[in-house]
Copies of this chain bind each other. A is one copy, B any other.
Amino acid sequence: MELVALSAAQNPENYPTHTLDHLVDEEHGIRVPVTRITLDDSPDGRPNPPVTVYRTAGPGCDPTHGLPPLRAAWIADRGDVDTYAGRVRDLQDDGRSAVRRGTASEEWSGAARPPVRARAGRTVTQMHYARRGIVTPEMRFVALREGCDVELIRSEVAAGRAIIPANVNHPEAEPMIIGRAFTVKVNANIGNSAVTSSIREEVAKLEWATRWGADTVMDLSTGDDIHTTREWILRNSPVPIGTVPIYQALEKVGGDHQALTWEVFRDTVIEQCEQGVDYMTIHAGVLLRYVPLTAGRVTGIVSRGGSIIAGWCLGHHRENFLYEHFDELCEIFARYDVAFSLGDGLRPGSLADANDAAQFAELDTLAELTRRAWEHDVQVMVEGPGHVPFHLVRENVERQQELCDGAPFYTLGPLVTDIAPGYDHITSAIGATEIARYGTAMLCYVTPKEHLGLPDRDDVKTGVITYKIAAHAADVAKGHPGARDRDDALSKARFEFRWRDQFGLSLDPATAEAFHDETLPAEPAKTAHFCSMCGPKFCSMRISQDIRDTFGDADEQERVAGMAAKSDEFRRLGGTVYLPDPATSRR
């Protein structure tokens, strides 16, 4: 498979200030890749230390071969999983076109490892280990990555307040953690639909998303080649992969949601567990009795999974089979370390429907399911809205955190207005910052194409960068340790007219540089003490620096200001040298 080559200028990893570096835990042989941004000296000759930033791009690889299995030895060393034959390849997994053709569009031809799962009676989840006081290499990796003590990682995972999504069949992924005590994470959705896209494009979007900083990626494919697209994505993904298995299950029954059964769903979940999916959205909170609560809404049910389940429940006059078989799902997930992403199938799809009875009824059930999963030592996060007016955003996360005993919240935006299709990355980043500030652990990005079409690669980039802004702004607002370092380094570079450093420290160096160069393209402008916004005479930072150069630091400026105040007073009093005694002059 040929992938579109990324131009050097468009690849942030290739920016001249950037180098790949590693944080190293020698004792345990763990190396965490990071991006080191090298900075120039200040004009006064003092050096500026490099800034090291979190890196999600992975080591890179030929996409036809896939990434090396970073975690394979760690998993094997625990001695609690067995290799087994796995499900038999079924062309039906890739849809009717594949059955017709006798093959998927582009079969995966890279590394193929037999699946593993927990030995009978064992549980292999990070939560299970954490609760038993076992510190795994995954936890050490994450501790280095977050810059915190590994005990904080272990205890938060043990308490259910954080998850490390890490299917034993996705050893390529670099461990990461999702929880309110850690940096806010960003998920990027990719995936084809019946109307558009190819495997090649989806793998390119994955690579693109992780280069710009996506912490996890969800493959939401609903079109052809679902199984094979997912295989390509998993084998190439350095970040955890999430899915919504009901989409594939629905494909398997020809798109007729009334034909769905627990058996088809269960088989699909196992298929995806064996491939290595790290977390799955399960709409087990859409209960039959909640569906009528949506009947008076402006936009009904806008979750695809939610609407499928709601239709099934009413059509069958039955309770949601995901709810009824939830413990069985827990048993499966415990054998692969798949995390639940408890779907908010009844989330609001418009401001008008926000924080309503249907939404909060489902949340009550998600809280119950969180506790049931924890009884199996299965990791859980809880999904949240959606579309919510700005003043109602905070209630969502505070209610979820309280009801779900601090299980990580994972929200889509929320969008704070419905009037800007084409700009919903922005409408939702506003709500995302607010909801993350109050404790949401991961934000699902929204691209400019939301509500209008599937994102292309540019949209993926815009969506990821917009959400890195929201996540970072929330980290700063939460006072997360060190969160402001990069801001401060960039601001210092700005004040000192170190243009290259400003570009290098920004989320999108090449774009920042290109915008600068549009009006001042010449190379000397890169060292100019002004820019095209103000020109040299009006550059406030230059004047501000001149003030410091001329009048010194705060103490010296105080002295000048003090003298001046005296002189002003002198003039005001008419310039007389001998003043009347204030005590007597009152007469």
Contact = CB atoms under 8 A, between A and B. Distances in A.
Nearest to A555: B292
A255 B535 CA distance: 11
A537 B468 CA distance: 32
A323 to B, nearest CB: 11
Interface string A413-441: 00011111111011101100110010000
Contacts of A314: 547, 550-551, 557, 560-561, 564
A342 B136 CA distance: 59
Contacts of A193: 532-535, 538
B516 A437 contact: no
B567 A317 contact: yes
Contact of A553 (B295, B313, B433): B295
Interface string A286-308: 00110111111011111110111
Interface in A422-475: 422-423, 425-427, 429-430, 433-434, 437, 448-454, 456, 465-466, 468-470, 472-474
A242 B296 CA distance: 47
17 contacts: A193-B535, A195-B520, A292-B557, A292-B561, A295-B557, A300-B547, A304-B540, A311-B547, A313-B561, A315-B550, A318-B564, A351-B476, A352-B491, A416-B476, A423-B508, A426-B469, A450-B533
Interface in A371-401: 387, 389-391
A19 interface: no
Nearest to A353: B491
Contacts of A564: 288, 313-314, 316-319
A212 to B, nearest CB: 12
Contacts of A511: 422
A576 interface: no
A317 B422 contact: no
A372 B317 CA distance: 73
A531 B452 contact: yes
Contacts of A317: 560, 563-564, 567
What secondary structure prevails in chain A residues at the interface with B? helix
Contacts of A453: 515-516, 518-520, 531-533
B194 A536 contact: yes
Interface in A66-123: none
Contacts of A319: 564-565, 568
A507 interface: yes
A258 to B, nearest CB: 11
Interface in A483-508: 484, 486-488, 490-492, 494-495, 502-503, 505-508
Contact of A351 (B300, B484, B555): B484
Interface string A520-552: 100000000001111111111101111110111
A472 B417 CA distance: 7
Nearest to A456: B518
A238 interface: no
A430 B472 CA distance: 12
Nearest 10 CB-CB pairs, A to B?
A: A300-B544, A350-B491, A194-B535, A317-B564, A292-B557, A295-B554, A307-B543, A390-B477, A307-B540, A391-B477
B423 A465 contact: yes
A561 B515 contact: no
A300 B542 CA distance: 10
Nearest to A544: B300
Contacts of A306: 540
Contacts of A520: 195, 453
A189 to B, nearest CB: 10
A304 B477 CA distance: 28
A543 B390 contact: no
A551 B486 CA distance: 55
B547 A291 contact: yes
A352 B317 CA distance: 59
A247 interface: yes
A574 to B, nearest CB: 16
B531 A491 contact: no
A351 B553 CA distance: 21
Contacts of A551: 314
Contacts of A349: 491, 494-495, 540-541
A216 to B, nearest CB: 20
A222 interface: yes
Contacts of A487: 350-352, 417-419
